Amino acid sequence: MYFGPFLATIPFQIDEQLTLEQGFDNVEFRVLDTGTRRICSWTNDRSYAFWRPSSTIAIRLLEQSATDAEGLLVSFEVFPAGKAR
């Protein structure tokens, strides 16, 4: 969990237990707009390989949710950091 101002990059220390089962997990993002007191939420129905030892990933929050070819909700994308999408 991260509480703080907007940062382009938020570093995490990855616990060894998070890399079990090949590092796949579902993650939800919630952003509070303090000006309007609104909370925006991003969540996916599909899991991604978030937690890999010695890796850096990037997460792009989508402006609108969509469904993938299998009909699963997609509201953010995960890819290796440094690889533009």
Domain locations in the chain as residue ranges: 16-80
- State which residues of the chain have pLDDT below 50: none
> What contacts 24+ positions apart, CB below 8 Å, involve 1-6?
none
Query: Residues 13-17: contacts with CB within 8 Å, 24+ apart?
Result: 14/51, 14/53
Does the model's pTM come out above 0.95? Answer: no
pLDDT of res. 50: 74
pLDDT computed for residue 51 by the predictor: 75
Say how many CA atoms lie within 13 Å of 69 toward its Cβ: 0
